[in-house]
């Protein structure tokens, strides 16, 4: 197990005065949800520092000419309407603070999705939306439930806020077992489709989880919903305690602009906004608000690029199978694949040498899998060629 503070304090042994004193780390939960009460020598000021093991984002390599299939970005550019806004953007606007209510973007989203404007929350990527939601909604002291194989930021936020949590094992086919989420808990979060498996749970099962948890907030993280999934958005009208989170980072090709949003009951969204305004009033930049509004209004481009990715993904399923890979049936813009004989870590390294980046998680349960983002058909061809050389 890795303890971040051990890295942080490796210089301590050089100072004998420090070693003569015994200091203790304030107990905190590790990534594996174990309470760490480890003894450690440190300066007094450090004793009350919040110790966290941070999330590790996927690599953003600086080299050019690479094929980047490691962070689930969209291989297509954002809508031309976004480019137009960027070109015409008046930099004089930057003198002013942005609209704290993010009105024009909330309006554009509410029109596109047919909900009331007061049922929309916008943040700096869905990471920000979810982080705010943990802070706002998971305060009972009871454990929050999420799958054992899932987005690896959930336990990081839980640890950051000292929220207890329980990981629920997926079934043998990597699906969520809904009954596991019926016990007493402090809230629920899961991605649908799940990441990194790409598997989609039926809307009926999602509703069962929400229905069985009327006393807590249930968050459905739909970062990858636009690649063939069925959204839980209609359930928001029925369940006051449901928050559905989506993002511009994947299906709208705007990971770099950092725009995430959520749908919920007016009451839920009001609570979330209260926390946001207690944290940072001006979350989105003027440019993000304007380009985001343009992107959400260009539905034709959005549908076209999503369809391209879906068809490339379905083709990838055939090609990867031929190369000896197996995988859950993804409804996302990535495939979570394991090979019948080659070890995932080795394939990952070999691909990297060929300047092709995919994602490898060196973690229990998933250390023999690669998460491969769907690129353009041309990028995927280069991937198959490289894989044929590596595992063929």
**Segment interacting with ligand PMP (CB under 6 A) among 12-20, 88-96, 119-127, 204-212:** 119-127
Whether the CB-CB separation of 188 and 245 falls below 8 Å is answered with no
For the CB of residue 345, give the shortest distance to ligand PMP in the complex, in Å. 21
- Is the CB of 191 or the CB of 264 nearer to ligand PMP? 191
For the CB of residue 37, give the shortest distance to ligand PMP in the complex, in Å. 31
Distance of CA 3 to the CA centre of its chain: 23
216-245 binders of ligand PMP (CB under 6 A): 221, 223
Q: Tell me if 74 contacts ligand PMP by CB under 6 A.
A: no
**Segment interacting with ligand PMP (CB under 6 A) among 5-13, 122-130, 299-307, 380-388:** 122-130
For the CB of residue 320, give the shortest distance to ligand PMP in the complex, in Å. 20
Residue among 74, 197, 247, 291 that touches ligand PMP (CB under 6 A): 247
- Is the CB of 98 or the CB of 125 nearer to ligand PMP? 125
One-character DSSP codes across 107-162 = HHHHHHHT--GGGEEEESHHHHHHHHHHHHH--SSSPEEEESSS-TTHHHHHHHTT
Whether the CB-CB separation of 257 and 283 falls below 8 Å is answered with no
For the CB of residue 97, give the shortest distance to ligand PMP in the complex, in Å. 23
- Is the CB of 221 or the CB of 290 nearer to ligand PMP? 221
308-347 binders of ligand PMP (CB under 6 A): none
Residue among 126, 192, 231, 305 that touches ligand PMP (CB under 6 A): 126
> Among all chains, which residue has been given the structure tokens 């303890």?
3
Q: Tell me if 125 contacts ligand PMP by CB under 6 A.
A: yes
Neighbour tally for 198: CB within 10 Å: 28
Q: How far apart are CA 109 and CA 353, in angstroms?
A: 42
- Is the CB of 42 or the CB of 288 nearer to ligand PMP? 288
Q: Tell me if 249 contacts ligand PMP by CB under 6 A.
A: yes
- Is the CB of 126 or the CB of 312 nearer to ligand PMP? 126
Torsion (CA) 53, 55, 57, 58 in degrees, nearest 10: 80
For the CB of residue 127, give the shortest distance to ligand PMP in the complex, in Å. 3
Distance of CA 151 to the CA centre of its chain: 6
Q: Tell me if 195 contacts ligand PMP by CB under 6 A.
A: yes
- Is the CB of 25 or the CB of 370 nearer to ligand PMP? 370
Size of the site for ligand PMP (CB under 6 A): 12
Burial of 290 from C-beta contacts in 10 A (0-12 / 13-18 / 19+): buried
Whether the CB-CB separation of 369 and 336 falls below 8 Å is answered with yes
- Is the CB of 5 or the CB of 121 nearer to ligand PMP? 121
Q: How far apart are CA 356 and CA 348, in angstroms?
A: 9
Q: What are the residues whose beta carbons fall under 8 Å from the beta carbon of 162, sequence distance 6 or more?
A: 28, 29
252-271 binders of ligand PMP (CB under 6 A): 255, 260
Distance of CA 363 to the CA centre of its chain: 17
Residue nearest to ligand PMP (CB): 125
Walk across the sheet containing 356-360 and list its strands.
Answer: 67-69, 356-360, 370-373, 334-339, 325-326
For the CB of residue 84, give the shortest distance to ligand PMP in the complex, in Å. 23
Residue among 98, 191, 198, 375 that touches ligand PMP (CB under 6 A): 191
* CA distances to 87, 200, 274, 331, 335 from 195, in Å: 35, 10, 29, 10, 10
Neighbour tally for 310: CB within 10 Å: 16
Q: Tell me if 373 contacts ligand PMP by CB under 6 A.
A: no
Angle at 158 between CA 198 and CA 264, to 5 degrees: 65
Q: How far apart are CA 242 and CA 263, in angstroms?
A: 8
**Segment interacting with ligand PMP (CB under 6 A) among 59-67, 113-121, 229-237, 247-255:** 247-255
What tokens does 75 get?
């291989």
**Could you list the residues that contact ligand PMP (CB under 6 A)?**
125-127, 151, 191, 195, 221, 223, 247, 249, 255, 260
């Amino acid at each position: 197990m890795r303890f971040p503070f051990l890295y942080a304090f490796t210089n301590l042994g050089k100072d004998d005065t420090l070693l003569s004193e015994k200091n203790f780390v304030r107990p905190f939960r590790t990534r594996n949800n174990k309470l760490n009460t480890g003894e450690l020598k440190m300066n007094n000021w450090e004793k009350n520092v919040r110790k966290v093991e941070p999330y590790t984002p996927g690599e953003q390599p600086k080299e050019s000419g690479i094929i980047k299939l490691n962070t689930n970005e969209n291989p297509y550019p954002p809508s031309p309407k976004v480019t137009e806004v960027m070109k015409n953007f008046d930099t004089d606007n930057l003198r002013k603070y942005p609209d704290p209510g993010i009105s024009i973007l909330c309006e554009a989203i509410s029109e596109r999705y047919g909900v009331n404007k007061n049922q929309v929350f916008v943040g700096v990527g869905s990471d920000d939306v979810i982080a705010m939601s943990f802070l706002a909604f998971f305060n009972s002291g009871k454990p929050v439930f999420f799958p054992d194989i899932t987005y690896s930021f959930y336990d990081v936020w839980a640890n950051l806020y000292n929220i207890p949590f329980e990981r629920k094992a997926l079934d043998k086919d990597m699906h969520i077992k809904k009954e596991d989420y019926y016990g007493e808990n402090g809230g629920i979060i899961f991605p649908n489709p799940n990441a990194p498996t790409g598997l989609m749970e039926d809307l009926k099962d999602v509703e069962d989880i929400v229905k069985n948890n009327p006393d807590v907030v249930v968050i459905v993280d739909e970062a990858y919903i636009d690649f063939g999934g069925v959204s839980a958005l209609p359930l928001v009208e029925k369940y006051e305690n449901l928050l559905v989170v989506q993002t511009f980072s994947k299906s709208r090709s705007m990971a770099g602009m950092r725009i995430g949003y959520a749908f919920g009951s007016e009451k839920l969204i009001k609570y979330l906004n209260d926390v946001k305004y207690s944290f940072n009033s001006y979350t989105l930049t003027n440019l993000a608000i304007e380009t985001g509004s343009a992107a959400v209004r260009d539905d034709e481009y959005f549908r076209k690029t999503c369809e391209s990715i879906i068809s490339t993904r379905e083709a990838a399923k055939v090609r990867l199978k031929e190369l000896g890979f197996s995988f859950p049936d993804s409804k996302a813009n990535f495939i979570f694949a394991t090979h019948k004989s080659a070890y995932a870590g080795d394939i990952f390294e070999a691909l990297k040498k060929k300047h092709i980046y995919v994602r490898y998680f060196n973690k229990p349960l998933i250390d023999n899998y690669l998460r491969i983002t769907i690129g353009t058909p041309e990028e995927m061809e280069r991937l198959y060629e490289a894989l044929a050389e590596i595992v063929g």
